[in-house]
Amino acid sequence: MGEHTAPKFPQEIIDEYAALGVDLPALFSAGHLGERMGVQIAEASADRVVGTMPVEGNTQPYGLLHGGASAVLAETLGSVGSMLHGGATKLAVGVDLNCTHHRGVRSGLVTGVATPVHRGRSTATYEIVITDEQDKRVCTARLTCMLRDVPKPAAA
């Protein structure tokens, strides 16, 4: 599905997670489902997350981009933004996702851009706009994540 690229994070965020022993770019490679679907995260910060996904291999029986594939791209990007907003002491867990599909796409690459709508202490909401290669809106999604404390390691 294409060559894998590491997500681009601001250096201060990479350093913050590295101090905790976490390889942030490896952690957010889009996960197993995202990898299977060809999702690639190109840019990531709490203010903006950008990723792409090929249409090929992610279609429904009529040959159009599957709505569930758009949902996977949207939830991946919104979750990354939520996690970066929460910081190293929080886990982002999706609690609500809605997607409005505006037009069909049969080929090429779609691009999603996630931007924050709300960033609080316990929740974060991102709008994700997915466009085709002609920059036409394919899908508008909104993801709300609950921000939970990272579990403390068990004492040995």
b/e map 46-80, b = 16+ CB within 10 Å: beebbbbbbbeebbeeeebbbeebbbbbbbbbbbb
43 as an active site residue: the answer is no
Cα–Cα distance, 28 to 78 (Å, whole number)? 12
- From the list 16, 43, 56, 75, the catalytic residue is 75
CA distance 112 to 69: 12
CB atoms within 10 A of CB 138: 22
What tokens appear for 41 in the block?
């995260």
At residue 80, the 3 state secondary structure works out as helix
Q: Nearest 10 degrees: CA dihedral of 28, 132, 97, 85?
A: 40
Q: Which residues are catalytic?
A: 75
